[in-house]
């Protein structure tokens, strides 16, 4: 099954602007794992690359990185970012990857693998990885802890309230992401595999950017399609409630966000 939820141009631009870049701690975890398993790093493939945040993160460490996504609008956004001459982008799906057998050193996916058909994707992992090649699947749940002065707990509750309101519009695949890919991890046939959880990272975001991140959710976009006026009102009222709680007037006011990443790592036998 291929999910086609992120193909509109506006949604793609939201992804480019507001989606979180995986933190250095996760990147280093993947590179250390590769260093133990692999020699020369030639080709990495970033599946479900979206607007290319993870692709660009990998680019300095490989001779070539290819981002794959089903959405041409997402790929247009990725291609528009300069400065990564060894990164290219192709349209395709996780279940039918355009690479020959045994040709890939790293097959990666960032906040995307919950949308893949597990058995068909893992069949492609087995097919295209070189012996000793690795797979890395990373992501984070949509639970956030927020901090601003003394009102962090109230802000976190407000964010949770909005997320719960939108939950009827969420695909079942969102629950797969929030399970930290437990089912997909269990299905990986390689004996050498591990899953690292609760990799905490803190970032600073403006209230405006936090609203943009909510707007990029697949389930907010589903609500927007179903109830456009109500969805727009929800986003505006949420921003207003945040500003009121914080005692500020500018949506450019910064707050601290803590989220926890996870990473699934596996190595194809030699």
pLDDT by 10s per residue, the chain, length 270: 344 444 455 555 655 565 677 788 888 988 899 888 767 789 999 999 988 989 999 999 999 999 999 988 889 989 999 999 999 999 999 999 999 999 999 999 998 898 899 999 999 999 999 999 999 999 887 788 999 999 999 999 999 999 999 999 887 776 666 677 888 999 999 999 999 998 989 999 999 999 988 988 888 988 999 999 999 999 999 999 999 999 999 999 999 999 889 999 999 998
Beta strands 43-47 and 145-147, pairing class: unpaired
Cβ distance 218 to 225 under 8 Å? Answer: no
Q: What is the pLDDT of residue 270?
A: 86
Q: Phi, psi (5° rounding) for residue 217?
A: -60, 140
Beta strands 64-69 and 254-267, pairing class: unpaired
CATH superfamily, domain at 9-267: Vaccinia Virus protein VP39 (3.40.50.150)
Q: Which of 240-243's residues contact partners 24+ apart within 8 Å by CB, and which partners?
A: 241/158, 242/155, 242/158, 242/207, 242/210, 243/207
Buried b (16+ CB within 10 A) or exposed e, 137-153: bbbbebebbbbbeebbe
**Residue 258 and residue 241: Cα distance in Å, rounded?**
20
Query: 123 CB contacts (<8 Å, ≥6 apart)?
Result: none
Q: What is the pLDDT of residue 3?
A: 44
* Domain ranges across the chain: 9-267
Q: What is the pLDDT of residue 74?
A: 84
Q: What is the pLDDT of residue 27?
A: 87
């Amino acid at each position: 099954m291929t999910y086609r939820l992120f193909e509109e141009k506006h949604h793609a631009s939201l992804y480019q602007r507001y989606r979180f870049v995986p933190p250095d701690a996760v990147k280093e975890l993947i590179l250390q794992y590769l260093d133990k398993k692999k020699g020369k790093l030639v080709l990495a493939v970033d599946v479900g690359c979206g607007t290319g945040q993870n692709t660009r993160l990998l680019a300095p460490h490989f001779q070539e990185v290819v981002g794959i996504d089903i959405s041409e609008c997402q790929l247009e956004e990725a291609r528009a970012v300069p400065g990564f001459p060894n990164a290219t982008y192709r349209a395709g799906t996780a279940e039918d990857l355009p690479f020959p057998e045994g040709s890939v050193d790293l097959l990666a996916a960032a906040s995307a693998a919950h949308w893949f058909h597990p058995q068909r994707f893992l069949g492609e992992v087995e097919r295209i990885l070189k012996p000793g090649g690795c797979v890395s699947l990373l992501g984070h749940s949509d639970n956030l802890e927020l901090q601003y002065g003394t009102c962090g707990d109230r802000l976190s509750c407000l964010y949770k309230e909005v997320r719960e309101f939108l939950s009827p519009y969420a695909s079942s695949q969102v629950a797969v992401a929030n399970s930290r890919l437990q089912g997909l991890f269990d299905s990986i046939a390689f004996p050498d595999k591990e899953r690292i959880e609760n990799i905490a990272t803190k970032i600073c975001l403006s209230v405006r950017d936090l609203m943009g991140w909510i707007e990029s959710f697949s389930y907010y976009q589903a609500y927007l399609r179903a109830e456009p006026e109500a969805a727009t009102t929800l986003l505006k009222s949420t921003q207003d409630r945040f500003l009121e709680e914080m005692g500020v007037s500018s949506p450019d006011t910064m707050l601290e966000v803590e989220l926890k990443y996870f990473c699934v790592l596996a190595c194809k036998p030699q």
